[in-house]
């Protein structure tokens, strides 16, 4: 089942001589439960692609469909609510809310929807992430790896159609990096989550279903790696 | 770049927006101080003008001193002008053509430099037998320049004097319908027998000396008694040279207000600089990383503050000065005659100097804490990119009571104790400042009574207070095109009456339609129309010792018959003085005539049109005839109007400035607070916080500051308001302090509404920024 469809996505910064084409006619799609990695050099356009797919940035042209819904045909407020419910984000610098506990950070998207979280699913996620003991801790009381696990928990809590991870291991050591990747793989397998992850660590792509390479704004599909 | 400090202008260019906000804060603080002190200066100047105009520009008067002592006093370096002066009031029984006159004798320099008498026609007397009269005597006594008059006294021979000129009459003389004769000192001494007057030596001192000290030194040196020394207390008070306890109390009040204004400036700047530095901790950390010492960072921050002062102080002073000019222009437009001598484009050095001093002092004081904070940024924190989270949260936001957006907003407001205290402090200070200044509104309404709608320009009164002004006179006046309104009153004094079996005395006064309609504003109970239309119905003016109420009956004797009148209304006040033991009772003209049998008026009041000039008043005087006392109140009305306008503009101007500062300060504080968290807001938006939720979150933060600010402001402001009110009003007029509900509601509403509105600017700015930019914003 096709979850994500990207069609002729272009993103241009600046004008005239300073014009930079960050994305050039990028098209690809992803199936439900697929775990894909986007690799490429620094400044190649990976983050721009991820931001456009997540609706954080507006593309210059092209379309992004999530379960058939055109992301950029929506009004901004509508797109925000859609993103909250259907797209989970994991950032390199975690972007946790420092004044909320581990548990509050994880359920933050549900709280933003003015809903009551299901205690069972919160407990399950905390257990999967190994954070049950630390549920009442503040982000400042956690290690980098633990903070990133909280960020993954926050991305998983709404069971979104798509999880976008921008260099989730960029600020972590190798042990924690492997733990984070293992968690994402587990999410992909266990919850049938579709995950698109940016990384420049080719070593981490061994666990993913598919690798996409971005070079100077052009995307090439390197196909499946994992059998 | 020659020094690391050259980085300041470069850094300012990069952080343009943050620098602009801090500059605005400095501009506001300087403007506040310049405007407030400039306005106070302007008010003092206008008070001085008023005092000099009505009582003369003298500071002390010595009676009964010899020529030698006078010469010694005149030779003192602090004495600018001095001279002989003698005066006899209307009670001295001097008359000209049978009319009572006042007589004054003085040196020419006293008349020119101290009493500023303007010669309107002819010249000032030089010879012994020459006399100048006040302008109103020209028509009142039918005298012209060149005429000869006889100054008569029952106990002495008449003196023949030749009239050489006329001078402008003072408002007091015109109001009392008195004439004054001005002679030279020698002329006075030869015309008035010794023993009837005391020679006085009038002295004007230099404004820059300690007048109290000089006066006491003269008193002591020449062994003068207290009776021999008369100080011009009012002028000394407005010059700040008085030791009167009430005046000193007022200065004390001004000092308290000065400290509060200073505090407002310091707090506003401190919170602005604090968040400015907080936002750049990474930058300061990087500088420490590159080898800058803590001392250098502190110097950097201090120099940066002074750099902002370079442009912000002149702008603040400029705006403050322009505001004062505008206020001066408004005053001149409102009371053109009264403020004609006040320059529109006056420079208030007090205002400017205090603006500059407070600007620099406040910046240096306010920069201390952020400078220390910047110096303490660890280089490690800067390189690891965690500089902004140097002070991580210690407790979590409570999301159980409020929704997450509101809970986060409240948490953002209260999480940093220091920031919370600064914000609450600056919000509450606006309320404290407003409440303190609002006490002076009550003071103003007590100290200066504005002109009432019934205030006449001219009053024609029967000399013996009887009903002797004919009805035809009022009709003639009403037909005069220069007369806007003419209305009369009949008076019957001390009428014995009975009410509830008790004997009382009343003053019965008649009203016509105009006066009844003006009385409506002071109606406490009952109906004015009943009194106007029905017979034997009256209004009673409230008096502490009067026990009459609506519905009470009053029995009085009218001729041989006993009549009864009914109280149909109670008035809180009237234009007439309350006399102990005598109740003021007002009725219609018809009732008055029926009760007393009188048909003519005791007083006719005239309100003139704007086009009326002096000659019109002269023609009214001719029309009224010489037996009627004419009180020309135009000059004194102008004085009252001028004094009220200047003080009202000064006080309300203050309040408006405080309200504006409150709004700017709140808007700026919220914008600063949002700027400091912009990265975090970006993350929240990425996760799915909508624009509406973002506004709710920032509003919750702003409202938290304003609610706590309002509570603290009331807790400090109300007792201060009480103290100031008691010092300024209760001490003088006895009015008890009451909770200033109206003023409190205004300022608390301004604070809360400004806080809510202040959110929209920054929220709009965040909304316009892309989420990606917000996350990566520094």
Q: Do A91 and B691 touch (CB under 8 A)?
A: no
Which among B38-52, B117-131, B263-277 has the top mean pLDDT?
B117-131
Cβ neighbours of A51 in B, within 8 Å: 771-772
- Count up the domains in chain B and report the number: 4
Does residue B323 sit within a domain?
yes
Q: Do A91 and B403 touch (CB under 8 A)?
A: no
How many interface pairs between A and B have CB atoms less than 8 angstroms apart? 90
The residue from B609, B634, B659 where one domain ends is B634
Q: Cα separation of B705 and A135, whole Å? A: 30
β-strand pairing of B60-63 with B200-205: antiparallel
Where helices occur in B453-527 by DSSP H, the ranges are 471-479, 513-519
Does residue B240 sit within a domain?
no
pLDDT recorded at residue B304: 83
The residue from B615, B634, B653 where one domain ends is B634
Res. B264: pLDDT tops 50: yes
Minimum-distance CB partner of A95 among B411, B686, B691: B686
pLDDT recorded at residue B64: 84
Does residue B444 sit within a domain?
yes
State the smallest CA–CA distance between residue B275 and chain A in angstroms: 18
Closest CA to B57 of B449, B341, B478, B448: B341
Supply the range of the domain harboring residue B486. 458-634
Does residue B239 sit within a domain?
no
Tell me, yes or no, whether B185 and B212 share the same domain: yes
ipTM: 0.83
Query: Which two tokens mark A59?
Result: 């593309």
Query: Which two tokens mark B413?
Result: 């407001």
Tell me, yes or no, whether B595 and B500 share the same domain: yes
Each residue's pLDDT tens digit, B543-562: 766 678 888 888 887 777 78
Q: Do A95 and B775 touch (CB under 8 A)?
A: yes
Q: Do B399 and A76 touch (CB under 8 A)?
A: no
pLDDT recorded at residue B776: 61
Kindly list the residues of chain B whose beta carbon comes within 8 Å of any beta carbon in chain A: 385, 389, 392-397, 399, 403-405, 408, 411-412, 415, 680, 683-693, 770-772, 775
Residues ≥6 apart with Cβ < 8 Å to A97: A104, A105, A108, A139, B408, B680, B683, B684
Minimum-distance CB partner of B393 among A56, A98, A154: A98
Q: Do B680 and A97 touch (CB under 8 A)?
A: yes
The residue from B337, B359, B386 where one domain ends is B386
Q: Cα separation of B257 and B438, whole Å? A: 11
Res. B583: pLDDT tops 80: yes
Q: Do B405 and A138 touch (CB under 8 A)?
A: no
Q: Do B693 and A112 touch (CB under 8 A)?
A: yes
B399 to chain A: nearest residue by CA? A104
Does residue B654 sit within a domain?
yes
- When scoring B390, B396, B417 by the number of chain A Cβ atoms within 10 A, the one with the most, hence best to mutate, is B396
Per-residue pLDDT of chain A (227 residues; tens, 9 = 90+): 889 999 999 999 888 888 888 899 999 999 998 999 999 888 888 889 998 999 888 899 999 999 899 999 998 888 888 988 899 988 888 888 888 899 999 998 898 888 888 999 899 889 888 889 999 999 888 888 899 889 989 998 988 989 999 888 887 788 888 888 888 888 888 888 899 999 877 777 888 889 999 999 899 887 765 44
State the smallest CA–CA distance between residue B771 and chain A in angstroms: 6
Minimum-distance CB partner of A97 among B684, B693, B771: B684
In the DSSP assignment, the letter for residue A139 is G
Minimum-distance CB partner of A101 among B396, B691, B772: B396
Minimum-distance CB partner of B389 among A98, A112, A114: A98
Q: Do B775 and A91 touch (CB under 8 A)?
A: yes
Each residue's pLDDT tens digit, B342-354: 777 778 888 888 8
Q: Do B385 and A93 touch (CB under 8 A)?
A: yes
Section B511-526 average pLDDT: 86
Walk me through the domains of chain A, giving residue ranges and CATH numbers. Answer: 32-46+84-224 (3.40.50.300)
Q: Enumerate the β-bridge partners of residue B483.
A: B608
Res. B283: pLDDT tops 80: no
Kindly list the residues of chain A whose beta carbon comes within 8 Å of any beta carbon in chain B: 51, 54, 56-58, 76-77, 80-81, 83-85, 89, 91, 93, 95-101, 104, 108-109, 111-114, 136, 138-140, 154
Q: Do B687 and A101 touch (CB under 8 A)?
A: no
The number of beta carbons lying within 10 Å of the beta carbon of residue B239 is: 17
Query: Which two tokens mark B24?
Result: 């605005």
Does residue B257 sit within a domain?
yes
State the smallest CA–CA distance between residue B741 and chain A in angstroms: 39
State the smallest CA–CA distance between residue B769 and chain A in angstroms: 10
Tell me, yes or no, whether B603 and B690 share the same domain: no
Quote the mean pLDDT of chain B: 82
Decide if B270 contacts B422 (C-beta within 8 A). yes
Res. B272: pLDDT tops 80: no
Cβ neighbours of B689 in A, within 8 Å: 80, 84, 112
Q: Cα separation of B293 and B624, whole Å? A: 90
Q: Do B399 and A100 touch (CB under 8 A)?
A: yes
State the smallest CA–CA distance between residue A84 and chain B in angstroms: 4
Cβ neighbours of A138 in B, within 8 Å: 392-396
Quick one: chain A helix, strand, coil %, rounded to 5?
40, 30, 35
Q: How confident is the model at residue B718 (pLDDT cuts 50, 70, 90)?
A: very high
Tell me, yes or no, whether B296 and B318 share the same domain: yes
Q: Cα separation of A119 and A117, whole Å? A: 6
Decide if B206 contacts B90 (C-beta within 8 A). no
Q: Do B389 and A140 touch (CB under 8 A)?
A: yes
pLDDT recorded at residue B285: 73
Q: Do B392 and A93 touch (CB under 8 A)?
A: no
Which among B389-393, B413-417, B676-680, B700-704 has the top mean pLDDT?
B700-704
Q: Cα separation of A164 and A210, whole Å? A: 15
Q: Which of B333-337, B378-382, B685-689 has the lowest mean pLDDT?
A: B378-382
Tell me, yes or no, whether B418 and B477 share the same domain: no
Tell me, yes or no, whether B472 and B602 share the same domain: yes
pLDDT recorded at residue B281: 67
- When scoring B399, B401, B404 by the number of chain A Cβ atoms within 10 A, the one with the most, hence best to mutate, is B404
In the DSSP assignment, the letter for residue B534 is S
Q: Do B385 and A114 touch (CB under 8 A)?
A: no
Minimum-distance CB partner of A89 among B392, B404, B686: B686
More confident residue, B17 or A183: A183
Does residue B728 sit within a domain?
yes
Tell me, yes or no, whether B554 and B673 share the same domain: no
pLDDT recorded at residue B778: 43
Decide if B308 contacts B363 (C-beta within 8 A). yes
Q: How confident is the model at residue B119 (pLDDT cuts 50, 70, 90)?
A: confident
- What Rg do the C-alpha atoms of chain A give, in angstroms? 17
Minimum-distance CB partner of A108 among B394, B404, B415: B404
Q: Cα separation of A32 and A67, whole Å? A: 10
Section B411-430 average pLDDT: 85
Give percent of chain B with pLDDT exceeding 90.
8
More confident residue, B165 or B677: B165
pLDDT recorded at residue B389: 47
Q: Which of A198-212, B190-204, B332-346, B604-618 has the lowest mean pLDDT?
A: B332-346
Where helices occur in B633-759 by DSSP H, the ranges are 634-676, 678-687, 691-725, 731-733, 741-758
Does residue B428 sit within a domain?
yes
Section B238-267 average pLDDT: 73
Q: How confident is the model at residue B2 (pLDDT cuts 50, 70, 90)?
A: confident
Tell me, yes or no, whether B357 and B414 share the same domain: no
State the smallest CA–CA distance between residue B444 and chain A in angstroms: 51
Tell me, yes or no, whether B114 and B18 share the same domain: no
Section B608-633 average pLDDT: 83
Closest CA to A139 of A128, A125, A149, A126: A149
Section B297-303 average pLDDT: 83
Minimum-distance CB partner of B397 among A99, A109, A112: A99
Section B440-458 average pLDDT: 80
Tell me, yes or no, whether B625 and B504 share the same domain: yes
Q: Cα separation of A142 and A140, whole Å? A: 6
pLDDT recorded at residue B387: 46
Minimum-distance CB partner of B690 among A51, A80, A96: A80
Tell me, yes or no, whether B26 and B62 share the same domain: no
Tell me, yes or no, whether B293 and B351 share the same domain: yes
Give how far Cα A28 sits from Cα of A23, A36, A38, A127, Å.
13, 11, 12, 34
The beta strand positions in B382-490, using DSSP E, are 458-462, 483-489
Q: Enumerate the β-bridge partners of residue B165.
A: B122, B132
Q: Do B772 and A56 touch (CB under 8 A)?
A: yes
């Amino acid at each position: 089942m096709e979850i994500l469809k990207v069609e002729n996505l272009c993103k241009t910064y600046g004008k005239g001589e300073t014009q930079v084409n960050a994305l050039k006619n990028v098209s690809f799609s992803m199936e439900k439960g697929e775990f894909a990695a986007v690799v490429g050099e620094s400044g190649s356009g990976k983050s721009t692609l991820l931001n456009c797919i997540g609706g954080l940035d507006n593309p210059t042209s092209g379309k992004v469909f999530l379960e058939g819904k055109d992301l950029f045909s929506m009004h901004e407020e509508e797109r925000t609510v859609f993103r909250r419910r259907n797209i989970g984000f994991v950032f390199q610098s975690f972007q946790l809310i420092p004044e909320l506990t581990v548990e509050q950070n994880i359920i933050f998207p549900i709280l933003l929807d003015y809903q009551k979280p299901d205690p069972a699913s919160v407990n399950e996620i905390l257990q999967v992430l190994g954070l049950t003991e630390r549920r009442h801790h503040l982000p400042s009381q956690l290690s980098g790896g633990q903070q990133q696990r909280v960020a993954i928990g926050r991305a998983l809590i709404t069971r979104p159609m798509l999880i976008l991870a921008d260099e989730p291991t960029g600020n972590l050591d190798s042990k924690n990096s492997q733990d984070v990747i293992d968690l994402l793989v587990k999410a992909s397998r266990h919850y049938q989550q579709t995950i698109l992850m940016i990384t420049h660590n080719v070593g981490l792509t061994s666990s993913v279903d598919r690798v996409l390479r971005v070079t100077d704004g052009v995307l090439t599909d390197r196909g499946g790696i994992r059998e | 770049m020659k020094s690391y400090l050259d980085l300041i202008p470069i850094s300012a260019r990069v952080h343009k927006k943050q620098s602009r906000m801090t500059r605005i804060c400095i501009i506001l603080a300087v403007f506040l101080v310049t405007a407030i002190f400039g306005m106070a200066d302007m008010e003092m100047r206008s008070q001085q003008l008023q005092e000099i105009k009505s009582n003369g520009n003298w500071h002390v008067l010595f009676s009964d001193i010899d020529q030698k002592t006078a010469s010694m006093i005149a030779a003192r370096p602090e004495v600018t002008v001095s001279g002989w002066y003698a005066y006899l009031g209307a009670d001295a029984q001097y008359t000209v053509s049978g009319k009572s006159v006042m007589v004054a004798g003085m040196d020419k320099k006293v008349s020119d430099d101290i009493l500023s008498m303007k010669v309107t026609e002819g010249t000032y007397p030089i010879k012994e037998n020459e006399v100048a009269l006040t302008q109103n005597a020209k028509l009142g006594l039918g005298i012209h320049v060149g005429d000869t008059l006889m100054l008569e006294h029952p106990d002495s021979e008449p003196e023949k004097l030749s009239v050489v000129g006329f001078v402008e009459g003072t408002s007091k003389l015109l109001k009392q319908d008195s004439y004054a004769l001005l002679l030279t000192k020698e002329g006075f001494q030869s015309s008035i027998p010794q023993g009837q007057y005391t020679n006085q030596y009038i002295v004007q001192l230099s404004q820059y000396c300690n007048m109290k000290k000089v006066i006491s030194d003269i008193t002591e040196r020449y062994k003068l008694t207290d009776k021999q020394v008369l100080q011009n207390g009012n002028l000394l008070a407005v010059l700040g040279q008085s030791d009167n306890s009430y005046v000193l109390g007022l200065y004390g009040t001004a000092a308290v207000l000065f400290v509060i204004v200073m505090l407002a400036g310091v707090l506003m700047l401190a919170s602005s600089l604090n968040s400015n530095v907080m936002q750049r901790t990474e930058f300061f950390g990087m500088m420490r990383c590159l080898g800058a010492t803590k001392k250098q960072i502190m110097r950097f921050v201090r120099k940066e503050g002074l750099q902002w002062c370079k442009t912000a102080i002149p702008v603040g002073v400029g705006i403050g000065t322009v505001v004062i000019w505008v206020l001066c222009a408004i005053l001149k437009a409102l009371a053109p005659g009264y403020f004609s001598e006040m320059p529109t484009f006056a420079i208030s050095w007090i205002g400017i100097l205090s603006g500059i001093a407070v600007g620099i002092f406040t910046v240096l004081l306010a920069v201390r804490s952020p400078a220390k904070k910047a110096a303490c940024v660890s280089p490690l924190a800067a390189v690891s990119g965690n500089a902004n989270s140097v002070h991580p949260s210690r407790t979590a936001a409570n999301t159980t009571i409020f929704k997450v957006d509101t809970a986060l907003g409240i948490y953002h407001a209260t999480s940093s104790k220091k920031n919370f205290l600064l914000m609450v402090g600056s919000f509450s200070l606006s309320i404290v400042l407003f409440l303190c200044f609002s006490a002076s509104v009550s003071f103003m309404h007590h100290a200066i009574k504005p002109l009432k709608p019934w205030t006449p320009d001219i009053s024609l009164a029967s000399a013996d207070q009887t009903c002797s002004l004919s009805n035809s006179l009022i009709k003639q006046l009403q037909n005069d095109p220069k007369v806007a309104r003419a209305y009369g009153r009949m008076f019957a004094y001390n009428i014995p009456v009975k009410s509830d079996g008790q004997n009382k005395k009343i003053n019965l006064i008649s009203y016509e339609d105009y006066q009844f309609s003006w009385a409506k504003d002071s109606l406490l109970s009952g109906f004015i129309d009943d009194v106007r239309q029905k017979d034997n119905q009256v209004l009673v003016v409230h008096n502490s010792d009067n026990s009459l109420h609506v519905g009470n009956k009053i029995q009085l004797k009218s001729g041989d018959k006993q009549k009864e009148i009914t109280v149909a209304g109670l008035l809180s006040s009237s234009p007439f003085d309350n006399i102990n033991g005598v109740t003021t009772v007002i009725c219609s003209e018809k009732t008055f005539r029926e009760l007393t049998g009188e048909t003519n008026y005791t007083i006719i009041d005239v309100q003139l049109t704007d086009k009326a000039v002096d000659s019109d008043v002269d023609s009214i005087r001719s029309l009224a005839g010489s037996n009627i006392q004419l009180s020309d109140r135009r000059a004194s009305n102008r004085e009252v109007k001028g004094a009220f306008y200047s003080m009202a503009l000064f006080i309300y101007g203050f309040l408006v400035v405080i309200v504006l500062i409150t709004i700017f300060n709140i808007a700026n504080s919220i914008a600063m607070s949002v700027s400091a968290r912009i990265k975090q807001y970006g993350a929240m938006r990425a996760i799915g916080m909508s624009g509406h939720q973002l506004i709710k979150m920032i509003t919750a933060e702003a409202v938290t500051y304003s609610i706590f600010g309002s509570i603290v402001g009331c807790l400090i402001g109300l007792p201060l308001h009480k103290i100031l009110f008691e010092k300024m009003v209760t001490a003088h007029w006895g009015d008890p302090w009451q909770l200033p509900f109206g003023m409190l509601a205004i300022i608390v509403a301004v604070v809360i509404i400004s806080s809510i509105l202040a959110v929209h600017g920054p929220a709009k700015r965040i909304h316009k920024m892309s989420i990606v930019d917000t996350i990566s914003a520094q």
